[in-house]
């Protein structure tokens, strides 16, 4: 079965379906979105379960689009992206469930939401460089519109400008890099497997690699909020509607990391060798610096945004280690963080709807007021500071081992400090301010989450716990692919 094609087409069809429903039928519109993403989740789950570890590319769909340019719609899954697609489908479903806080222009919002979901899932399923980029843009543009039109807060317009400029710039740099890859390989094809086969025979000219890799690294890096290009993230997520923040922070942001692993390192291994040291230190800046910034935040969304930027540091560090353990850990954290970020933004969206403010100094005692949401937030914050039992811990500790064995010892020590102590500090502070203590002033009338949202958040939490208890579900598949990439990048150590 072409599960991937179905997964990608379902949301796009749902976007079309929402387009023909009259805008007053809000319930129908929401049901279409939730139904489509639910079905996509089901398909992703079936695909994940029937995925054969070590079986190469699976669930392939290949449609010729422009023969002369070598453009194909090529969807396929291997050990790395099958997990990410499943995570994306879970987050998409949860985001669809959490989208009922939109009350005006519901139809337009849901069209964009479905387009974004389709784009996200398509980007991670594509094995063709062109569609890989195309689907990403398909998801990115609705993000900007959604923040601009349905966003919240006084600085919404500024946030929209900023996120649009930053992300467009990042996407542009990456595009130049990708074109560079295409031209330099001379493969006459946009297919990633073809390109990899080509560079295995005749690697890209080393001088060219020295400019292709940094372009890709910073281009993709900006998309993932690499320090010092990170300031768009907390601001943008603070202003974004709940569903958008969940999808972007959870899944779409991982595109840059995925691109680094999938394209940049295999295509320009020599460039990677000389630039990954820089990446490791920037990763450390993400972890330490953004962690410290998070400590100072008074607004819950700013705190989650900054801590999410800090967590990107782990993934960059894993990539910079450039060994099997590190790349596997990086993908593991990508998946874990996707689930976690969606959970955290879903919860903060619920809190925001109660009083229209996320000022932590005015909260307090919410664990009593809203036991379900409170417990979920408690667990999310624990997961965020790397508590074992959640998938984040499995990934983070793997990355520590990887970075240490890659010889990045100073970086690892400081990273461990920021993960354990600084991470603990801001998360504990948040729990203390929001959940513990006497009930805060405006919160006496606040209600708990609705059953629908509770289901969605429960799903995210459940996935975090399952992958935390049995990380082997993911790592077995990832490891093989990571090993291939490492062999490409370091032929000497074969």
Residues at the site binding another protein, with contacts judged by CB under 8 A: 162, 228, 231, 289-290, 292-293, 295-296, 323-325, 328-329, 365, 367-368, 371, 382, 386-389, 393-394, 397-398, 400-402, 404-405, 412-413, 416-417, 420-421, 424-425, 428-429, 431-432, 435-439, 471-472, 475, 479, 483
Q: Are 14 and 31 in contact (CB under 8 A)?
A: no
* Shortest distance in whole angstroms from residue 325 CB to another protein: 5
Report how far residue 303's alpha carbon sits from residue 4's, in angstroms, rounded to the nearest whole number.
Answer: 35
* Shortest distance in whole angstroms from residue 32 CB to another protein: 32
Dihedral angle of Cα 302, 308, 310, 313, to the nearest 10 degrees: -160
**45 or 416: CB nearest another protein:** 416
Across 151-167, b (16+ Cβ under 10 Å) vs e yields: bbbeebeebbebbbebb
Report how far residue 447's alpha carbon sits from residue 11's, in angstroms, rounded to the nearest whole number.
Answer: 31
**134 or 161: CB nearest another protein:** 161
Q: Are 161 and 145 in contact (CB under 8 A)?
A: no
Report how far residue 202's alpha carbon sits from residue 196's, in angstroms, rounded to the nearest whole number.
Answer: 10
**331 or 347: CB nearest another protein:** 331
**162 or 337: CB nearest another protein:** 162
**191 or 301: CB nearest another protein:** 301
Q: Are 331 and 261 in contact (CB under 8 A)?
A: yes
Helix/strand/coil for 128? strand
**141 or 295: CB nearest another protein:** 295
* Shortest distance in whole angstroms from residue 148 CB to another protein: 17
**271 or 329: CB nearest another protein:** 329
H/E stretch holding 71: strand 71-77
Work out the number of other CB atoms within 10 angstroms of the CB of residue 259.
26
* Shortest distance in whole angstroms from residue 203 CB to another protein: 24
Report how far residue 53's alpha carbon sits from residue 224's, in angstroms, rounded to the nearest whole number.
Answer: 28
Q: How far lies 85's CA from each of 78, 109, 124, 243, in Å?
A: 10, 23, 6, 18
């Amino acid at each position: 079965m072409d599960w991937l094609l179905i997964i990608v087409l379902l949301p796009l069809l749902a976007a079309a379906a929402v387009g023909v429903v009259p805008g007053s039928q809000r319930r129908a519109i929401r049901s279409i979105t939730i139904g489509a993403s639910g079905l996509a989740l089901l398909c992703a789950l079936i695909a994940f379960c029937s995925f054969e570890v070590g079986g190469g590319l699976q669930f392939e769909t290949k449609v010729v689009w422009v023969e002369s340019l070598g453009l194909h719609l090529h969807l396929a899954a291997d050990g790395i992206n099958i997990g990410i697609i499943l995570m994306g489908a879970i987050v998409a479903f949860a985001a669809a469930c959490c989208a009922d806080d939109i009350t005006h222009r519901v139809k337009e919002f849901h069209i964009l939401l479905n387009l974004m979901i389709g784009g996200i899932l398509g980007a991670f399923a594509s094995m063709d460089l062109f569609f890989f980029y195309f689907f990403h843009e398909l998801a990115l543009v609705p993000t900007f519109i959604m923040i601009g039109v349905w966003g919240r807060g006084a600085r919404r317009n500024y946030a929209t400008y900023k996120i649009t400029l930053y992300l467009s710039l990042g996407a542009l740099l990456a595009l130049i890099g990708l074109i560079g890859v295409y031209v330099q390989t001379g493969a006459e094809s946009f297919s990633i497997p073809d390109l990899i086969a080509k560079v295995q025979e005749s690697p890209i000219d080393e001088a060219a690699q020295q400019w292709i890799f940094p372009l890709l690294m910073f281009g993709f890096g900006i998309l993932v909020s690499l320090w010092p290009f990170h300031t768009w993230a907390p601001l943008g997520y603070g202003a974004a509607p709940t569903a958008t923040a969940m999808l972007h922070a959870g899944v779409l942001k991982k595109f840059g990391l995925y691109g680094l692993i999938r394209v940049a390192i295999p295509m320009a291994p020599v460039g990677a060798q000389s630039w990954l040291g820089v990446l490791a230190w920037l990763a450390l800046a993400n972890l330490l610096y953004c962690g410290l910034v998070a400590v100072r935040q008074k607004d819950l969304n700013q705190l989650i945004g900054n801590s999410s930027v800090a967590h990107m540091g782990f993934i960059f560090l894993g990539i910079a280690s450039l060994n099997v353990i590190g790349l596997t850990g990086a993908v593991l954290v990508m998946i874990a963080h996707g689930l976690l970020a969606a959970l955290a933004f879903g919860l903060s969206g619920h809190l925001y709807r109660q009083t229209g403010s996320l000022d932590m100094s005015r909260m307090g005692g919410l664990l009593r007021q809203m036991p379900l949401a409170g417990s979920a937030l408690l667990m999310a914050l624990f997961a965020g500071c790397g508590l074992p039992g959640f998938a984040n811990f499995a990934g983070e500790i793997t990355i520590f081992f990887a970075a240490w064995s890659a010889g990045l010892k100073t970086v690892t020590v400081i990273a461990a400090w920021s993960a354990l102590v600084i991470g603990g500090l801001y998360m504990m502070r948040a729990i203390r301010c929001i959940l513990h203590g006497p009930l805060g002033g405006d919160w006496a009338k606040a209600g708990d989450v609705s059953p629908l949202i509770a289901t969605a958040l429960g799903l995210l939490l459940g996935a975090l716990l399952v992958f935390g208890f049995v990380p082997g579900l993911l790592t077995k598949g990832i490891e093989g692919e990571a090993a291939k990439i490492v062999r490409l990048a370091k032929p000497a150590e074969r």
